[in-house]
Amino acid sequence: MRIGIDAHAAEREGSGNCTYIRGLLGGLAQIDKQNEYFLYATDKQNPFYARFRTKGNFHIRHLRPKNPLIRIPFSLGRRSFSDNLDILHVQYIAPPIHKGKLVLTIHDLAFLHFPKSFGRFERFRSKLLVLANAQRAAKILCGSQYSKMDIAQRCAVDEAKIEITYYSTPLSFRPADSHDERKQAVLKKYGINKKFIFTLSRLNLRKNLKTLIEIYTTLRDSEKIDILLVVGGKKDVLFEETMRNIENSRYKENIILTGFIEEEELRFLYNAAEVFVYPSLFEGFGLPPLEAMACGCPVVTSKVSSIPEVVGDAGLLVNPNDAEEMLKAIVGVISDATLRESMRRKGLERTQHFSWEATAYKTLAVYEAVCSQRERG
């Protein structure tokens, strides 16, 4: 098979799309030495692609321009013909005309559930193109049973057309030695000099950081717990509201905004935190809680959308709209060392159910099934 994959998201660290495509490509390179892969990049020199240059069956194709309004419909479509593809695999949006059967990854339909958390143009583009692409795709991939049911219903496609390929975490995400000098250096870099609660997400409306900041204030006022709140992640749509919430907090000096955190540093923050809190209102999978558990960090997160499916009984699941319930869970983890250790063990066990190799095997099986259908047709 000749398989083309739109890989440009691998160049944009700090997003779930990036983590997914990096994990999938790494898994495919590990398990498949026979099929030909064409990785479509906007930055061919990005260090991520270096590992594929020695793989005889992986070829990196440079697409211009970076602007997706031109790159996707024209450059990517044209390349699919010149590379004589059997399969074209993209996330969310595909060129209208292309060579090869379309495999489409849709992580979630957040643009339908929480439209205000997207820019106006992105909302319009997603509604117009993602729903249309779902109709014409040979197969749709997603990361959870929740997303499969949601996509089937809202995109009006048969569930049989949708395959679940669970996601995973970088291999480097694992428990670290408490005396690791690198961990101490990361904590010093971000000014973390005491115990801390950690959260990681884009600063976006649906990530529900406003509620977490309010809970943090109550934690300091009522519970008298002297602890920092470390908020990691890039600014996103309506981030100004989150910034105002922090600025208006009387504990703003104890709230640390890190911005984007590189992968090597991120694993040490997961390792060092007392608890990882993820109060998101909606997820198609929810990578950060899984990453935290892989590093041995106890997790308090939302019992909505796909998150319970990922976390299982390894984390404390709460109603993200119930501040009192979330506060109780956070206080319980912080104040109970026995509970933290139990959650740490359960989290590490839970993450063993997820691997990028398994994701790659399942995805490769989809490619083969789609090609087989074409040959029969």
Does 64 lie in the same domain as 203?
no
Q: Give domain status of residue 176, yes or no.
A: no
CATH code for the domain in which residue 42 is found: 3.40.50.2000
Does 140 lie in the same domain as 6?
yes
Give the pLDDT band of residue 377 (cuts 50, 70, 90). Answer: very low
Does 12 lie in the same domain as 141?
yes
Asked if residues 148 and 142 have their Cβ atoms less than 8 Å apart, the reply is: yes
- Domain housing 264: 181-351
For residue 345, is pLDDT > 60? yes
Does 137 lie in the same domain as 93?
yes
Q: Tell me the β-bridge partners of 90.
A: 104
Does 362 lie in the same domain as 347?
no
Does 361 lie in the same domain as 344?
no
* Beta strands in the chain, from DSSP E residues, in sequence order: 2-6, 36-41, 58-62, 87-91, 101-105, 139-142, 162-164, 196-200, 228-232, 255-259, 275-278, 299-302, 316-318
309 token code pair: 């499916």
Give the pLDDT band of residue 180 (cuts 50, 70, 90). Answer: confident
Domain count, the chain: 2
Please name the residues in contact with 90: beta carbons below 8 A apart, sequence gap of 6 or more.
5, 6, 72, 76, 102, 103, 104, 105
Does 321 lie in the same domain as 188?
yes
Give the model confidence (pLDDT) of 253-273 as tens digits: 999 999 999 999 999 999 999
Distance CA 119, CA 134 (A): 22
pLDDT, average across residues 335-342: 96
Does 269 lie in the same domain as 147?
no
